[in-house]
Amino acid sequence: MSAPISFVSNEITPSWQELLSQCVEDPAQLLSLLHLDNALLPAAKAASELFPLRVPMPYLARIERGNPQDPLLLQVLPLHSELITVSGYSADPLGEQDANPVPGLIHKYKGRVLLILTGACAINCRYCFRRHFPYQENRLGPQQWQNIIEYIAADNSIREVIFSGGDPLATPDQRFFRLLDDLEQIPHLQRLRIHSRLPIMIPQRINANFCQRLQQSRLQTVMVIHANHANELDEAVAEALTALKNANVMLLNQSVLLKGINDSVAALQALCERVFALGVLPYYLFILDRVSGAAHFAISDDQARRLFSQLQQVLPGYLVPRLAKEIAGQPSKTLLAPL
């Protein structure tokens, strides 16, 4: 295996904001940094026209150079397969635009609402179910935020707010804290859930100031990270997760079953054991959302159920995530039984 790539001088450690702004967005640069065949470039350029390439340096450093089948690379490399129209795949596979009563807020399930804090993200995962989401129509300006606060305050059944995006942790601390301050003033809110890839993509985001604010919140805080492969979880990620755990944040991991990346018992077992070793409980293992441009990642439900059955045989129950799929219009996630 090739040695890891060193992109950052040991003398100066960039801030998380700098790392977020320095992501690789040019397919030619990606191929050059990873010593990959330029024959991949035409397809990568064409696919990135539909959904831009975006990879942060800390994540890129974990990808094996010269290996076009690296499981981390396959999550971010634009391919010709994305250009192929496949029946049953759409721009809004989860029907989120039908559950968008207030700009920036999605209310699909009882007792909780999801807020789109930002359209920004540290990484553009090629299978992302929001790759076509209308972020411009859901921007959180002052008036939009006031409308959201009023919507939540008027519904006593809402107990939990979910911060999503994009990636909600791409939001600067000062703004993030102001939003949290406002939510804490709503008496019936009990929990804050944060769905984020940033602790993995740019673990430097998890700083002392951020952890301290979460620890001080009156809301019980849950963070759902998103790791698909054990190779994503290096020592810097481990340090970030430890900091969150020490701030009394409950940590869960969700993954997506991806063809050629983690569709084996060995890969899934290694992932579940690795996240648990870092203090994170395996939470969901999702069937791929049928979003346009991502069909090449899909495996069948029956394949997934067989994998899940085999995973149950090699892991204790508390390390086995729930196998689930999200179906537009359903009142909850749909759990799949082992086969």
Digit-coded pLDDT (tens) for 212-231: 999 999 999 999 999 999 99
Q: For all residues of the chain together, what is the average pLDDT?
A: 95
For 335, the 3-state DSSP assignment is: strand
Q: Is the pLDDT of residue 11 over 70?
A: no
Instruction: Please give the CATH superfamily to which domain 96-335 belongs.
Output: Aldolase class I (3.20.20.70)
Quote the CA–CA distance of 286 and 334 in Å, as a whole number. Answer: 10
pLDDT at 97: 85
Task: Give yes or no for a contact between 236 and 204, defined as CB atoms under 8 angstroms apart.
Answer: yes
Which DSSP helix (H) or strand (E) runs through 133?
A: none
Domain residue spans of the chain: 16-83, 96-335
Nearest CA to 320 out of 285, 277, 287 is that of 285
Digit-coded pLDDT (tens) for 231-286: 999 999 999 999 999 999 999 999 999 999 999 999 999 999 999 999 999 999 99
pLDDT at 98: 87
Nearest CA to 61 out of 39, 88, 30 is that of 30
- The secondary structure of 237-274 as a DSSP string is HHHHHHHHHHTT-EEEEEEE--TTTT-SHHHHHHHHHH
DSSP-assigned beta bridge partners for residue 286: 256, 324
| Beta-carbon contacts of residue 21 (< 8 Å; ≥ 6 apart) | none
Q: What percent of the chain has pLDDT over 70?
A: 96
Digit-coded pLDDT (tens) for 86-142: 999 999 999 898 899 999 999 999 999 999 999 999 999 999 999 999 888 898 999
pLDDT at 12: 65
pLDDT at 2: 43
The structure tokens listed for 134 are 């209308």
- The secondary structure of 203-222 as a DSSP string is GGG--HHHHHHHHH-SSEEE
Quote the CA–CA distance of 254 and 239 in Å, as a whole number. Answer: 19
Quote the CA–CA distance of 265 and 249 in Å, as a whole number. Answer: 29
pLDDT at 13: 76
